[in-house]
Chains A and B, each alone.
Chain A
């Protein structure tokens, strides 16, 4: 009898909970705080602000969205803050990039956030394009092994957003001298323009506005993109944002006549997915109810269909779209839960080749 009443209570409380949740699914009169663990003015902050009006418009109940910057510790401080303070009703969101994901995957010191346990509300690609200097004699990606000059790449830090780029060099078997220690992709691009480096990666919005003019002037040669995830979850497709350029997968196949495989490719695929395909991801508390996530998935679809969003995103990202829902969440989580072999490979590569300490 006792167990029976317990059961009843459980059913009752689930019902009440469900009721509350369905009311909470509509964010009427609520404020959603979007935490960006970088400085205002950075690419992530700008993207969050870019999406803000569309989320306000298409989420049920038209909540007020407040984008807050919490920079520090290379985004670890802001993510740790989220771990401690996030609410589980979907009103606190962590909007961040691979700079938060990579230290988590690598198990670096100071990481207190459980990124792989978080729910994924929506995601926006943050694809990147590799390009080189015409002085190398390279005309396209297929010439990459025939450079007349030693290839020099300028980057920030091996364990942050440069990781997929460096891994792509490993996959392709390139002999690249990687100079790390720049304070941002901007200064690295400037060093390319000054002729100090001759191989560079830039994220799409910057590529479109900064590098495309140089391509037209004959000062830069576009090479490849990280690629996009196909229906089977593999990073093989061409990036729809730059459909003229091959993906790393294609470049490999073209160079070696077979599919890339092995630990280098597995590591690249995992890290490149969270960096490029799901580059900007909105995370929520692990206990966030499913219908809140459904509401966000619906809003993401509505935003993608919004003609104003389509027009604006055409200008900024060449028409990138939001993704959300179970498939996105599954892909992000599987990329975040890299296999022990991949983790071991990454840690070894970083410590032997790039002197990173763990």
Chain B
């Protein structure tokens, strides 16, 4: 088989193919950096063009894009704090905190290198797909897949943060959001208000953008035209390399977690990133720095997410079962070129297999190098007033959200999730557990249901399940054993309870409590099987939010002045809502220029000439991008009439 390695690299080094690979990489990097537009958007944009190319060239272009998305999104996550794609949320948490401490270069360097390692490891595993990966994928029946989702949730518990009740409330909110939409086998459609839009459940992109991105953009707009901090210096890469070497084994382990995540359809990319992040926290001797800027968080997440998107190709190539959404489009492309992946793929088309491996490997390495080259220039952009950066970001996020179903529902859902994310940020609810709960809710329910349907309860005794339970509990028991000897320092109660009585926290707790209570009564109308998942969130969620509300109410006097920032940001939030409503009424094309003008002149205080020029450029680019994305911009009710 190895004799095909050289012809494949020769085939790839054909100038046109190489050019296509680079075009793919360029698109992948741009979409990786744009928050909300990730691998799926990059690959679907390239898809129409590959039909003009020959098979190897077209596939190389797609692979170029797939391989660099999770390298480039590090830049956005670190510099801006809005995750470039859902699976880089941990990078946004840790990396952005590091950037605020002036260590952006370290965070970026480690992120790029870890991504590269993840990509290379993924490519290596692809090479051994048949002998190694095939049996593993076949050994993972539905009970094992369910256990994998549980492992993810278990690791997520380490992200709950310093205040347990707020962390738990956030996680339950996430699981609840994940239960919206079809129950297993479409028996019930939960919490859909008879809206067709909700029949498929919520989109991961929109939830991630809303929870993390919108809140960041609003605080950027609110910070106005002033420069609230100096330039983020990205000059010395040395620290990045040193940290990379220091954490090489962590990165390697996390890349392995990522590769494994790729084997598992559905639990895939986002979950494995969180498992890796949780692993980094758990294996650390001083986990208290996590959440405040710990380089190990960046190393873990970036090592894992790139490995996952590459090894997503393994079930795709072996069994025609795509490991993730980007891999699904890649599979479609393979079909179009007349390749039908399956067990015989490697013996029938060995050269194609090697072409895929080489493309991924080459793109991973060159992608990292390019990121190193462009990051300093991009970091200089952060010297600009925040509101200037926020303006195009808002448009990109609107565009990214609109790719889910291309209906107005996407816009309203982005706004709603943004509102929740903003409130969570100001009420000091950690947002990571919410996203993890959301991501894992669906596979958890699906595989639990399937396992019970197929095996009854006997699946609990399957060897694979027992091994996973053992692996999960071993470190826990070890820790329990150790903690008998050393008393852990207790976090100060004051620190833990800070802000509990703030009006934002009171409002959020009350809202979530009402939502949960309503949902509980609503869920009584569902069949017992369909109640299981929502009840997993609601039954513990109601007392926890109740507790938060009561504790908060008792501290309301102490904390009543704790919200100047959220009051300051409120008008910006309302303006964003107004913008979405304007899109609904008159359409994107008409609503956008006035909104951009407001952002540039009112928020960023730009001068007329430069503001007009800049505004025209970003509006034009956004219209252009919408037309490349093929579905067109939202029209609005009266838009077509005007």
Query: Does B184 make an interface contact (CB < 8 A)?
Result: yes
| B439-464 contacts to A (CB < 8 Å) | 446, 449-450, 453-455
Given A186-B320, A355-B527, answer yes or no on A80-B196 (Cβ-Cβ < 8 Å). yes
- The DSSP consensus for interface residues of chain B is helix
The reply to whether B322 and A73 contact each other, CB–CB distance below 8 Å, is no
Q: Are A76 and B454 in contact (CB under 8 A)?
A: no
Considering the complex, give the chain B residue whose CB is closest to the CB of A186. Answer: B321
* Docked-complex contact A50 and B336, CB < 8 angstroms: yes
- A214 to B138 alpha-carbon distance, docked (Å): 14
The reply to whether A357 and B188 form a contact with Cβ atoms under 8 Å apart is yes
For chain B, residues 32 to 48, give those with C-beta under 8 angstroms from any C-beta of chain A.
44, 47-48
Contact with A along B328-340 (1 / 0, CB 8 A): 1111110110101
A43 to chain B minimum Cβ distance, whole angstroms, is: 8
Determine how close the nearest CB of chain B comes to the CB of A137; give it in whole angstroms: 20
For residue A328, give the distance in angstroms from its CB to the closest CB of chain B.
25
B279 → A minimal CB distance (Å):
26
CB-defined contacts of B252 to chain A, threshold 8 Å? none
- The interface bits of chain A over 328-357 (1 if a CB of B lies within 8 angstroms of the residue's CB, else 0) are 000000000000000000000000001111
User: Least Cβ distance of B571 to chain A in Å?
Assistant: 33
Q: Does B14 lie at the interface of the complex (its beta carbon under 8 Å from any beta carbon of A)?
A: no
Cβ distance B96 to chain A, nearest Cβ, rounded Å:
32
Contact mask for chain A residues 235-255; partner B; CB cutoff 8 A; 1 contact, 0 none: 000000000000000000000
Complex Cα–Cα for A73 and B341 (A)? 28
B-side contacts of A213, CB under 8 Å? 342-344
Q: A74-B199, A152-B454 are in contact. Are A68 and B631 (CB under 8 A)?
A: yes
Asked if residues A187 and B320 are in contact (CB atoms below 8 Å), the reply is no
Is B266's CB within 8 Å of the partner chain A?
yes
Taking a contact as CB atoms under 8 Å apart, the answer to whether B320 and A206 are in contact is yes
Q: Give Cα A71 to B330, complex, Å.
A: 17
- Residues of A183-234 at the interface with B, using a CB-CB cut-off of 8 Å, are 183-184, 186-187, 189-191, 193-197, 205-206, 208-210, 213-214
Could you say which of B211-219, B298-306, B403-411, B556-564 contacts chain A?
B403-411
Contact with B along A311-341 (1 / 0, CB 8 A): 0100110000000000000000000000000
Whether B407 and A72, one on each chain, are in contact in the complex, defined by CB atoms closer than 8 angstroms, is: yes
Pick from A3-11, A138-146, A174-182, A257-265 the stretch touching chain B.
Answer: A174-182
* Interface residue? B488 (CB, 8 A): no
B454 with A74: CB separation less than 8 A: no
Contact of B329 among A41, A110, A159 (CB under 8 A): A41
Nearest-CB distance from B414 to chain A (Å)? 15
Say whether B200 faces chain A, with CB atoms less than 8 Å apart. Answer: yes
Q: Is B185's CB under 8 angstroms from A157's CB?
A: yes
Within the assembled complex, what's the spacing in Å between the Cα atoms of A316 and B529? 40
Contact with B along A22-54 (1 / 0, CB 8 A): 000000000000000001111101100110110
B404 proximity list for chain A (CB < 8 A) = 72
The answer to whether A41 and B328 touch across the interface, beta carbons within 8 angstroms, is yes
Contacts A46-B332, A186-B320, A209-B340; A71 near B196 (Cβ below 8 A):
no
CB-based contact A77/B185 at 8 Å:
no
The answer to whether A316 and B338 touch across the interface, beta carbons within 8 angstroms, is: yes
Please, how many angstroms separate the alpha-carbon atoms of A81 and B139 in the complex? 42
Query: A40-B47, A159-B186, A213-B343 in contact; A179/B454 too (CB < 8 A)?
Result: yes
A217 CB to closest chain B CB, in angstroms? 9
Instruction: Give the CA-CA distance A77 to B265 in the complex, in Å.
Output: 25
Q: Measured between alpha carbons, how far is A68 from B630 in the docked complex, in Å? A: 7
Asked whether A293 is an interface residue with its Cβ less than 8 Å from the other chain, the reply is no
Chain A residue nearest to B333 (CB atoms) is A41
CA distance A152 to B329 in the complex (A): 30
Can you list 23 residue pairs at the A/B interface with Cβ under 8 Å? Answer: A41-B328, A41-B333, A46-B336, A49-B51, A71-B405, A72-B196, A81-B407, A110-B196, A156-B185, A158-B185, A180-B186, A186-B265, A187-B265, A189-B320, A190-B137, A191-B141, A191-B450, A193-B138, A194-B139, A206-B340, A209-B341, A355-B527, A357-B189
Show the binding face of A for B, using Cβ within 8 Å: 39-43, 45-46, 49-50, 52-53, 66-74, 76-77, 80-81, 109-110, 112, 152, 156-160, 177, 179-184, 186-187, 189-191, 193-197, 205-206, 208-210, 213-214, 312, 315-316, 354-357
